[in-house]
A and B are shown apart, each in its own frame.
Chain A
Amino acid sequence: MKCSKLVALTLSSVLILGGCGTTVERVDADTAVDLSGAWNDTDSQLTARTMVEDALSRPWFKKHMQATGKAPTVIVGKIKNLSHEHINTQTFIADIERELINSGDVEFVADATARKEIREERGDQDLNATEETRSEMGKEIGADYMMQGKINTIIDVDGTDQVRFYQVDLELISMKDNRKVWIGQQKIKKLVENSKMRK
């Protein structure tokens, strides 16, 4: 009789589970939601905020202000993904750019791709826009510093459990003389315990 119950249970399970559908719930963009333990938007935002705050509180900033009397101009270069995950570094770069601009402490200039497009537009203005509204060539502000970096991971795995260690290294390099004026490091450690059973 036990076997018969198993057959009935199977049929019921198949029918019930067949009816399971997708549900979507909107959550606040600032809410931390960890599903897989992989690098996510929360890691990106928190790391960008912490590291930019750290960068702007270090001596290079004061020294630059004292030496030039104006806020430093910064550009964000390449952030290399050397981790075990496919990380969209563009969103991380965008988070760093936002934090830098919103700090109000530094001037910020567009990256190489954006500059190219703007120069094309300026060239077009040269031909087609009126003199009063035209933006002239050769008036760009050059960056004083470039921020570059890399994301590394170390993953320790045992069966269904993992310890994921992320290390983000950023550095600010003087465009004038290649001096490294700031090096920042942010570490994130996650313990991911995957279920051994599913429905």
Chain B
Amino acid sequence: MGRRSFLPSFISYRFFLLFALLILSGCSVTHKKVNLLSQSLNTNSPEAVLTQIQTLKPEERDRPLFNLNIGTLQFLSQDYPAAITSLTLAKDEMAILFATSFSENIGAATVNETMRSYSGTPSDLVMVHNILALSYLFNDDPDAACVEILQADIMMKKLIKKDSNSGQLASAHVISAIIYELLDEQDNAFISYKFAAELMQARGAPLTDDIKLSLTRLSKELGVLDQFDQYKTEFAISDEQINELTAANNSNLYFIHFDSVVTSKKEVSIMVPSYHDNRNDQLVRIAMPSYPNVARSIGSADIDVGEQDIRTTEIESVDVLAREDLDAEYPAILLATTARAVIKYDAVKNAEKKDPLAGFLMNVATVLSESADVRSWNMLPASIQYAYVSTNEENVSIRARKLAKRKIELTAGSKHVILTSSISDKLFHYQQDKSIY
């Protein structure tokens, strides 16, 4: 009892308890609501989920995440100007939050991890450019889309690490390649496909036929004949296949498909009594974020091209990226959680020495305030898929899970970007304006 009071006299233990309960209970409820809304996307339309999420009032520190989720839903609802506004806000906020915050770190070390502002995982920092590039493109602004892919490239260079692929997205390189092809910059497109292929191989993912064909056809178009021969042999592609793909009047379709919804984080916690001097001293709670194992079947979208039925194949598993990001962060989270448990334990002990009731209240506050950071950009697809079609047919038909068969008319030599999502009944279509390029 002789020890100095550790809190200023005007802040009582009861005040701390009230503060912790008021501030923290609201946060975790919002995060859980967002996670539930994300999972409801499998049955509800993006428009319906958007309406629901817009009623939530996020904390200032969750604002970037809120804008990421809102922006994605606006994109899926084809409200491109709104998506661009929300995602640009999120991008700018995350850029500011890239620096480490002193006060938030103290908050995280003493209360819980959600005291930090959501500054985005390495994958988020790149993915935001992906969705922005697509938003600009479908809003008929390929130049602005190009700016986003250039920014994605800068961000990936910024995040590059010697022994990790953290923040390196094959999908970002494929989207870059598509946009370069629309801008008739085949040399840059070729490099982007190469980066995508390298990343897919580094992650142990199979190289899709569409990427193989793109590499081979572009190496031929650019006259890089040694690489062309190498790809033909390595990928077992015949001259007939390549000649068919590169026929002058063929229409080109770059088809992206978003499948399912990325898994949300869950909290895993344990609460144990601490024994000191052979008596039940206090309760210690530890909470960590984790991704549950979800058994899901990933679908695809189909394109009917004449007699052929072409399917999209996965170029990136966003689920895998999310888990990689959490794995990379895990040692730091574990260290912070352990340190926080020690700090909280000591705080309860000190309060108890002053007044047993204060100790009890402080213990309640420390237990209740301990929660894992389960925030994540969870309106994203679980799988990003791609297919490339070069055809002399006059039309193609597209089908996806919620999308009834839709026909697209093709004019000779035209270039199209098409996107479908398994959670939407909309077809996203951009046709290159040849008068510009």
- B residues less than 8 Å from A4 (CB atoms): 6-7, 346-347, 350
- B residues less than 8 Å from A157 (CB atoms): 154, 157-158
Given known pairs A8-B6, A8-B8, the reply for A14 and B158 (CB within 8 Å) is no
Identify which of A23-31, A63-71, A191-199 touches chain B.
Answer: A191-199
B44 at the A interface (CB under 8 A) = no
Asked if A11 and B16 make an inter-chain contact with CB atoms under 8 angstroms apart, the answer reads yes
Main secondary structure of the interface of A (DSSP, over half): mixed
Asked if A196 and B99 make an inter-chain contact with CB atoms under 8 angstroms apart, the answer reads yes
- A residues less than 8 Å from B144 (CB atoms): 86
Q: How far is the CA of A86 from the CA of B147 in the complex (A)?
A: 6
Interface code B4-46, partner A: CB below 8 Å = 1, 0 otherwise? 1011100100001001000000000000000000000000000
- B residues less than 8 Å from A7 (CB atoms): 6-7, 16, 110, 343, 347
Interface code A1-30, partner B: CB below 8 Å = 1, 0 otherwise? 101111111111110010000000000000
Asked if A197 and B6 make an inter-chain contact with CB atoms under 8 angstroms apart, the answer reads no
Name which residue of chain A comes closest to B60, CB basis.
Answer: A18
Q: How far is the CA of A9 from the CA of B104 in the complex (A)?
A: 11
B150 at the A interface (CB under 8 A) = yes
- The smallest beta-carbon distance between B134 and chain A, in angstroms, is 15
- A residues less than 8 Å from B110 (CB atoms): 3, 6-7, 10
Size category, B interface: 35 or more
Name which residue of chain B comes closest to A18, CB basis.
Answer: B60
Given known pairs A81-B143, A157-B158, the reply for A8 and B7 (CB within 8 Å) is yes
Main secondary structure of the interface of B (DSSP, over half): helix
B417 at the A interface (CB under 8 A) = no
Asked if B109 and A6 make an inter-chain contact with CB atoms under 8 angstroms apart, the answer reads yes
Size category, A interface: 20 to 34
Q: How far is the CA of A4 from the CA of B351 in the complex (A)?
A: 9
Contact partner, B151, options A3, A5, A84, A195, Cβ 8 Å: A84
B103 at the A interface (CB under 8 A) = yes
- The smallest beta-carbon distance between B86 and chain A, in angstroms, is 15
Name which residue of chain A comes closest to B160, CB basis.
Answer: A157
Q: How far is the CA of A12 from the CA of B97 in the complex (A)?
A: 21
A124 at the B interface (CB under 8 A) = no
Task: Give me 9 A-to-B residue pairs in the complex whose CB atoms sit less than 8 angstroms apart, sorted by A's number.
Answer: A7-B343, A8-B8, A11-B11, A13-B103, A14-B107, A80-B143, A84-B147, A85-B147, A195-B99
A residues in contact (CB < 8 Å) with B: 1, 3-14, 17, 80-86, 153, 155, 157-160, 162, 194-199
